[in-house]
Chain A
Amino acid sequence: MATAVATKGTEFEQMGAVPTFQVTLFVRRFNPEDGQEARWEDFDVQVHGTDRVLDALHKIKWEMDGSLTFRRSCAHGVCGSDAMRINGRNRLACKTLIKDLDITQPIYVEPIKGLNVEKDLVVDMNPFYQAYRDINPFLIASDKPEKERLQSAEQHSKFEDTTKCILCAACTTSCPVFWTDGQYFGPAAIVNAHRFIFDSRDEGAELRIDILNDKEGVWRCRTTFNCTEACPRGIEVTKAIAEVKQAILRGKP
C-alpha cells in the first residue's frame, strides 16, 4: 500500500514531464582538411520525446563535439536548409521526431546524395541552384506592372501544389537519375518550372517548356516516385513532372 502511494506521488510530481531516452546516432563525418576518408562516428545522446533529429545534432555539437558541421536556419521546416539522409531516407532533420524512428536501433544521419560533400553534413548546393536558375524561376510578363494581375481560384489551383517548394533539395538528391547524372535538371527545378508554366499570369511557358524539352530535361525522369516520397512539404513531385511532360507534348500548358 505504502509503495503504491509512493509511486502515485512520484507520478504526480512527474506529471507533465516529457519522457527521456537514450539513442545512438551514427553520423557520417568528413573533414576535407584531415586527409581521411568519410567515416561513421557514433554518439550516445539523451533526448526527450519531443526532440527532433536536429535537437540531437545540436546536443552533439554544443555538448560533445563542436566540430560537427551541418546547415540549419529556421529549425521549423520552412527554410529548407537541413535536408539530410536519415535512416536511408531524405528528410528535414527539424521535422523528424526521434520517437517516430526506430529508437531501439542506431539512427544513421548522412549528407544528401549526389552533391559533393564539403564537410560532415554540408554539401555543395551550387549545381542544384544552377538547375533552378536555368528554368527562369521568375514571372515573365509583357504588360507593365501597373495594376494587380487577377487570377481565379481555379487558375491558381493548377499550380498551387508546386508553390510550396522550399528548395531543400530532398527530392533532387533522392533521384537515382540525379545520383548518376549531375546534368539532369532534377525534380526541384522541374517543380519550380511547373509553378510558372501553369500560372495564367505568366507568359514564359513556351520558353520553359523548350528548356525542359532537353536531353537532360524531363525525359530523363524514370517515374520512380522517390521525389514524391522525399518531399517534406508533401508536394506531388512526380505528378508535377508528368504534367510538364504532357505540356511539352502539347507544346503549351
Chain B
Amino acid sequence: MSVVIEQPRSPRSRKGANWEKYGWMYMRASGALLVILIFGHLFTNLFLGEGIKAIDFAFVGGKWSDPFWKVWDLAMLWLALIHGTNGMRTIVNDYASKEAVRKTLVWALWGICAVLVTLGTLVVFTFDPCPAGAAAELLPSFCPAS
C-alpha cells in the first residue's frame, strides 16, 4: 500500500472575489473598445465634413441631440474614466508604501472618478442647447427663442 503524504504546505486561503483578475480583464477589454471609440470620435469631429472648423457650440449641441452620439460619448466617458482611475490605482499600489497613505489615495481616486462620471452622465442626458425660459441674449443663434 502506498503511504499518503500530506502536502507540506496547505494552499493560501482567499476570501471573496479576486478583483485583481477582473481589473486586469477590464483594462484589456476597455482598452480595445477605447481605441475604436476615441479614434471614431476624433475622426468624426476633426476630419469629416468641414473638419475642425465645424466645431462650435452648435456642433456639440447637434451631436448630443442624436441618441447614437449620446451612447457613444457616454461609453467613452465611463470606460475611459474607470480605465484611467484603475491605472492610477495600480501605480498607487506599486509606490505607496504606507498602508494609510495608499488607502487614502485609492479612495480619493475613486471619489474623483465617481464625481466626474456622475457629472458627465448628467450633462450627456440633460444637455439642452436651448433651455426654456432663458434670457434670449444668452441663447445661441440657432435657438427658436432668440
Question: Could you tell me the distance between the alpha carbons of A144 and B25 in the complex, rounded to whole angstroms?
Answer: 39
Is A207 a contact partner of B11 (Cβ separation < 8 A)? yes
Question: Could you tell me the distance between the alpha carbons of A220 and B89 in the complex, rounded to whole angstroms?
Answer: 12
A interface residues, how many (CB within 8 angstroms): 22
When distances are taken between beta carbons in the complex, the residues of chain A under 8 Å from B56 are: none
Contact of B25 among A207, A210, A217, A249 (CB under 8 A): A249
Say yes or no for A65: interface residue by CB 8 A criterion: no
Within 8 A of A (CB), among B127-141: none
Say yes or no for A42: interface residue by CB 8 A criterion: no
Is B95 a contact partner of A219 (Cβ separation < 8 A)? no
Q: A177-B94, A181-B94 are in contact. Are A134 and B12 (CB under 8 A)?
A: yes
Contact of B97 among A136, A140, A180 (CB under 8 A): A180
Tell me how far the C-beta of B14 lies from the nearest C-beta in chain A, rounded to whole angstroms: 7
B interface residues, how many (CB within 8 angstroms): 17
Say yes or no for B84: interface residue by CB 8 A criterion: no
Say yes or no for A245: interface residue by CB 8 A criterion: yes
Within 8 A of A (CB), among B1-41: 2, 7, 9, 11-12, 14, 18, 20-21, 23-25
Say yes or no for A248: interface residue by CB 8 A criterion: yes
Q: A134-B9, A136-B7 are in contact. Are A219 and B24 (CB under 8 A)?
A: yes
Within 8 A of B (CB), among A132-186: 133-134, 136, 140, 144, 176-177, 180-181
Question: Could you tell me the distance between the alpha carbons of A217 and B93 in the complex, rounded to whole angstroms?
Answer: 14
Within 8 A of A (CB), among B91-126: 93-95, 97
Question: Could you tell me the distance between the alpha carbons of A87 and B30 in the complex, rounded to whole angstroms?
Answer: 39
Q: Report the 4 A-B pairs with minimum CB-CB distance, sorted nearest first.
A: A219-B20, A219-B24, A144-B2, A180-B94
Q: A207-B11, A219-B23 given. 9 additional CB < 8 A pairs?
A: A133-B9, A140-B7, A180-B94, A210-B11, A210-B14, A214-B12, A219-B20, A249-B21, A249-B25
